[in-house]
Structure 1
Amino acid sequence: MDAVEATRLLAHAAAFDNRKPSKAASIAWAEALKDIPADPDAFAAVAKFYSQPSRDGDLDSTRWIQPHHVRALRKEIRDERIPDGAFTYPLPAGSETGAEFVERRRQQIAAIADGRIAAEPIRQLTGGPHPSVADALTGVGRMPDHVREALADALPGRKAREEARFRGDADALAVPCPWCHSAAGDPCKRRRGARGDKPGTWFHRTSPHPGRVDAAAIAARACPSCQAPMGVPCAWPDGRFYDGVHPTRQTTQPAA
């Protein structure tokens, strides 16, 4: 903004506050707003200032707009045209460098703030994934058959766990073992039991203890025989706890 443009802006302000513009005032305003153009938004900032109640405690009869008011209110007017969310940046016909993208983005934001173009918010993606992606995701979390077979001899406990899942049984290793106290996820263990085993040595079992199988069924399923809910042991009609679980609780489908 130069002195001539500042004179026009001060004349616009005088229509509101009856000030007497002078050459000195025009020069001073031009210096204070040298980086602000005398565009419609600068004149709208003057009108916005006098359309609002006092912000700084001045009496309405003595309020005079100052250059810093024009700067702040003009920025508010321009920011209102820019959406809260990001907006799209159409790609150029050819390639561009990072610096060229930044400059194009700056020009786009300026054009939106000027009101010369409208912002286009980024649209929400709808629909499911591409069929090829959906097909790829179907195998996530499942062990391929050839891998399961390769691990069968090295990890017999894992083999038993996979076989139980295949049959639809509750995953016994999902709960701690009440007999050998193996943590959830760890195979059951036993102490020396075969001739030649070193005393005090623990060995991994190829199958979980029966009590652990029952505990897994209690944790995963309700009992259709005694109506015990999931997580509650089976019981006799007189209320006494059942030794283990009813056979139907082992064969019913796990809760969803």
Structure 2
Amino acid sequence: MERREVAAVLAYIGRLDPRSIRTAPGEARDQLAQWHELLHDVPFATNHGWDVREAIRAHVLDSPYPILPVDVAREWRRYRRARLDRHTDPTPTADPDDLAAWRAELLGTRQAVATGAVAPSTHRQITSSDPHSDVEARLRAVGSCIPPAVRADLVGYRPARAAREATIAEGRPDALSVPCQWCHADRGESCRSRRVGPDGRARGSAPRATPHPTRLDLAAAKLTRQGAV
């Protein structure tokens, strides 16, 4: 805050709590200098939740003691920490090979969030927002989030996924695209072999290497309907 903003803050405090008013010229000047020294880096208000008047009013209502400049400064620090705790550092749009630009954008975003210039980017916003235009262009060029060479190297580590991708590429029914009515596996989950004991309760639920035949029939029927549309 500038000196004139600090003076406005002191005038506001004086209206709420007359005990803080200084009438002598020297005392008023010293009070203004003290408050400005501690609050020069504290904004008067931001677009995202901070207003120094709200902090002052809350202190007057909650505390029997006169407010001090350190009370306002500490409240501002708590506000900054709370915002940064909610921030999740979205991926910068700068070229990751340009470390200086990458770091500058990352620190600039954090500083904007800490000072209340922009809202924190929460984890949900990162995952649900649209990808950056550069990312969309790269996906269109590659055709997948995983390049073909990397996908080929991963075949030995995830054979079930590789077999499913091969099935889809060949135009055959994808059993995991529909839920299984036999073992009640959801879409995308493998079928399970359920053993039932003499009392009628399930004793095991081991994953199956192959889907149940009824699930394959449902996937084939779905593929047929899609082809007829």
- TM-score normalised by the shorter chain: which range applies? 0.3 to 0.5
- Larger-gyration structure (1/2): 1
Give TM-score scaled by structure 2 length: 0.44
Give TM-score scaled by structure 1 length: 0.40
